[in-house]
Amino acid sequence: MLRSRLFASLVVAVLLLSAGSSAQAPRAYDLLIRNARIVDGTGSPWYRGEIAVSGDTIAAVAPSIAGTAARVIDAHGMVVSPGFIDIHTHARRGIFDVPTADNYVRQGVTTLFEGQDGDSPLPIRDFLAKVAATKITPNFATFVGQGSIREKVIGLEDRPATPAEIERMQALVGQAMEDGAFGLSSGLFYVPGAFTPTEEVVALAKVAGRMGGIYISHMRDEASKVVESVAETIRIGEEGGLPTQVTHHKIIGAAYWGRSVETLRLVEEARARGVDATVDQYPYTASSTSIEAALWPKWAQEGGRAAVLARLKDPATRAKIRAESAVIIRDERGGGDASKVQLARCDWDPSLAGKTLADVVRARGAEPTLENAADAAIWIVGQGGCQGIFHAIGEEDLERILAYPGTMIASDGEVPIFGKASPHPRSYGTNARVLGVYVREKHVLTLEDAVRKMTSFPAQRTGLVDRGVLRPGMKADLAVFDPATVRDMATYTQPHQYAVGVAYVIVNGQLAFENGKMTEARPGRVLYGPARTR
């Protein structure tokens, strides 16, 4: 009996020792990143550590991780951060032509948000299904556009909506949210958003808010009425009962530079009284949109292309457009000088890309006065229109907005076809420029806060609870970069240049970029908003 009990005790002891040994045995991972400076996305100071990935998920973050992996990366001297989340892009311009989105991934961006400035495809469900069927490299998400909904219900008319039309628009917002939108965007600077009363936007925002979405707005004005426009954006969020965001915040026109002091004070005062108001920004002193949207009065854009061309045939109307356009060129996006307006893309004449409005005026046999520049803008619109770049933003405002704690980073860029046209360099360099210029060179931000503005902040804003921070259980979207060399290379005259200094990019646990090249992996996913129904 005693021998039997001793044997049983021995067996139990062996089993316990075996279990303990098994629990402590080194684990096998898919990816191990060793010797890293970890900037975890929260804004906390960096620390030295290692990161283990299993499948599409971060399995461990610790000072030292025992285990083996199918792939080990020695990140000695480099920073590992969450992959960057770009809350404002126009990536549907190009994502089906370049599904790898090299321009973004090469600078560490792993998630793109579309549907901005009030412009989105409808229905959202069909669009996202098309994206999902495309093998893309970054993750992809979208908002629904207030302007697109208004155009569908009302067209491009300058009038308030009827109660019945508002109900139809509200239903479309609700359907878009169920389709997977993350909220409502507006472009009140653009037609038809510019024709929308504030109360009408509030009515739509309430629907998005009830369904867990946010409101993000290209405001009605970013020049003479920028302060009033920020106040309107805050009002829409406050009355709509949802988070509200001033997107790509800027102050346009030298006469208005410095007003970021007032606009940021409005945001801070709103937050103090309980309004969830925030900002995003790109780090450039030039904006980009169409020549018509930027340099023409809104009334002249009503009704669409046929109505625009009809107006140009009437001498008196044409003269009125010319006079108002000359004022816009003088005081607002024209920067006071036709040479500060650059053509980015003209589908009807690709040779114009990269030329300035002053070049166009001279080619037409005139001197680049404000009036002749307005004539050239009218001619361009009549021919079919062009995308433009407008140098009219002050550096001091840029840095003040960037330093504000409630500002996140967003490119407002697209997915260019490499070498085609002359796009704004923000598509190639936004995140790398922040890290290289405004962290390393100008010290406007700390490294940790810059990363926070690119990762956890936009993740929190949009409700991406499983991305944006380096923690076990989060999705393995990672950027590995050298803080001493990361920088943008794209310029206004030579925009097709990829950022440098990023060594590895991991999307959903898979290496998407390494050794200066995109990999064969296409691990990106469509991300769906909080109200999505299946």
109 with 215, same domain: the answer is yes
Q: How many CB atoms neighbour CB 96 within 10 A?
A: 13
283 with 330, same domain: the answer is no
Among 343, 370, 385, the domain boundary falls at: 385
First to last CA, the chain: 64
Residue 99 falls within a domain, yes or no? yes
Cis peptide before 192 (omega within 30 of 0): yes
Look at residue 24 in the predicted model and tell me its pLDDT: 53
* Contact assessment for residue 436 and residue 51, using Cβ atoms and an 8 Å cutoff: no
147 with 200, same domain: the answer is yes
Helix (H), strand (E) at residue 231: helix 226-240
Residue 260 falls within a domain, yes or no? yes
- The pLDDT mean for the chain works out to 95
Provide the percentage of residues in the chain whose pLDDT is more than 70: 95
Residue range 463-486: average pLDDT? 98
Q: Which residue has the higher pLDDT, 425 or 2?
A: 425
**Buried/exposed code over 60-88 (b: 16+ C-beta within 10 A; e: otherwise):** bbeeebeeebeeebebeebbbbbbbbbbb
- Indicate the pairing of strand 502-507 with strand 478-481: antiparallel
328 with 437, same domain: the answer is no
Residue 6 falls within a domain, yes or no? no
Nearest one of 57, 58, 180 to 121, comparing CA atoms? 180
89 with 130, same domain: the answer is yes
Look at residue 412 in the predicted model and tell me its pLDDT: 98
Distance CA 211, CA 117 (A): 20
How is 300-343 classified by DSSP, letter by letter?
GGTT-HHHHHHHHTSHHHHHHHHHHHHHHHHHSTTTTSGGGEEE
Look at residue 524 in the predicted model and tell me its pLDDT: 98
Among 422, 438, 469, the domain boundary falls at: 469
Residue 67 falls within a domain, yes or no? no
Residue range 472-476: average pLDDT? 98
Beta pairing partners, 481: 79, 502
Look at residue 396 in the predicted model and tell me its pLDDT: 98
Provide the percentage of residues in the chain whose pLDDT is more than 90: 94
368 with 308, same domain: the answer is yes
Look at residue 26 in the predicted model and tell me its pLDDT: 78
Residue range 27-32: average pLDDT? 96
120 with 202, same domain: the answer is yes
Look at residue 5 in the predicted model and tell me its pLDDT: 44
Residue 516 vs residues 82, 385, 499, 512: alpha-carbon distances, Å: 19, 37, 10, 11
Look at residue 534 in the predicted model and tell me its pLDDT: 72
97 with 220, same domain: the answer is yes
Residues 6+ apart with CB under 8 A from 50: 32, 33, 34, 35, 36, 60, 61, 62, 63, 64, 65
User: Which residues form the domain of 192?
Assistant: 83-288+392-469
Residue range 467-474: average pLDDT? 98
Does the pLDDT at position 17 exceed 80? no
Look at residue 4 in the predicted model and tell me its pLDDT: 42
Residue 29 falls within a domain, yes or no? no
Look at residue 25 in the predicted model and tell me its pLDDT: 64
Distance CA 433, CA 440 (A): 10
315 with 380, same domain: the answer is yes
Residue range 319-339: average pLDDT? 97
Does the pLDDT at position 161 exceed 80? yes
Tokens of 398: 């840029």
pLDDT for 486-513, tens place per residue? 999 999 999 999 999 999 999 999 999 9
Q: Helix 124-133 vs helix 163-179: angle between axes, to the nearest 10 degrees?
A: 20
- Phi, psi dihedrals of residue 89, rounded to the nearest 5°: -135, 170
Residues 6+ apart with CB under 8 A from 327: none
370 with 427, same domain: the answer is no
Does the pLDDT at position 19 exceed 70? no
| Single pTM value for the model | 0.94
Look at residue 207 in the predicted model and tell me its pLDDT: 98
